[in-house]
Copies of this chain bind each other. A is one copy, B any other.
């Protein structure tokens, strides 16, 4: 920057202003500076700028995993929303491991993000303490915690499960099952488990048995999980009429496995998923699923962040439920 200022024949302060707040500089001066910058190929050092201004321009985003289209959509929506404000996303992922989450959070905090976005609302005590002490806006997303740390933009996973159960019940099914991940071990998907609980609760409310609700395999759940889980479930409960999969990926895996086993969907078995993944539209029959607008979730989060970081008196914690909807396709039949 010193080089630029010398070449342009102005002080370094003027260069700084010409870059970050051009309005404050005479057009002629601005021009000279721009030329010098181009000639030298100067790229400002935001590390130094961050230290001085005490604004890093970082937003921390904690995700369970990168390899999930919906979480990627959140990251995507967020990035879009923040791009023009010149914020950078600092992404960390936990692999559904709370010990790892804490480690990652510490690393993130060392970069002094101006806000922290956490996926989910279940944290280790140490992580919660870290978050509380961070003194920056916290947003918990993709969940609807009863005791949130800061702002909330999400949906109720419990309600997802209940909605799935109600839908299947309304179709006249009575022998209803579900497939999801296990709760044992360190690696677990709390939000998926919440969907399973909601499902079981609604089943019980309707006086139906929850015996065919199967927890099997570790997060992240994908096609293989669904294939293996449905095989187990049908062995254990051969008379099952309808199944909820906590993730569309599992649902699709289950569908393919059924195809191989000669179980016709939806004639012999109805299937409903969660997440509205693109693949669900493509398979045959198209998958009935529960949709949450994750892109919107990301964009909303970005807009909230911008508002929060714009005004000084940070508004009191907000709570937004982006809701959910059933996408009726053809994988569920009437009983």
Contacts and interface: CB of A to CB of B under 8 A. Distances in A.
Interface of A: 41, 43-48, 50-51, 56, 66-67, 69, 72-73, 75-76, 79, 86, 88-91, 93, 106-107, 109-112, 129-130, 133, 222-224, 227, 252-253, 256, 259-260, 278-279, 281-284
Contacts of A107: 86, 88
A256 B285 CA distance: 10
Given A222-B278, A252-B282, A279-B279, 8 more contacts: A43-B109, A43-B110, A47-B56, A67-B69, A67-B73, A227-B282, A256-B283, A260-B284
> Could you say which of A66, A129, A259 has the most chain B C-beta atoms within 10 Å of its C-beta?
A66
A282 B106 contact: no
Contacts of A278: 222-224
Contacts of A256: 282-284
A231 to B, nearest CB: 13
A279 to B, nearest CB: 6
Given A69-B67, A259-B284, A111 B46 contact: yes
A284 to B, nearest CB: 5
A112 B47 contact: yes
A72 B223 CA distance: 17
B282 A46 contact: no
A72 to B, nearest CB: 4
A254 to B, nearest CB: 10
List of 10 A-B pairs having minimum Cβ-Cβ separation, nearest first: A223-B282, A46-B110, A67-B72, A43-B109, A256-B282, A66-B72, A47-B50, A259-B284, A41-B133, A47-B51
Contacts of A283: 256
Contacts of A93: 79
A69 to B, nearest CB: 6
A91 B224 CA distance: 29
Nearest to A91: B91
Contact of A112 (B41, B45, B66, B129): B45
Nearest to A252: B282
Nearest to A50: B47
12 contacts: A41-B133, A43-B106, A43-B109, A46-B112, A47-B111, A48-B51, A66-B66, A67-B69, A88-B111, A224-B281, A256-B282, A260-B284
Contacts of A284: 256, 259-260
Contacts of A91: 89, 91
A79 B90 CA distance: 13
Counting chain B CB atoms within 10 Å of each CB, which of A41, A48, A72 scores highest? A72
Contacts of A66: 66, 72, 75-76
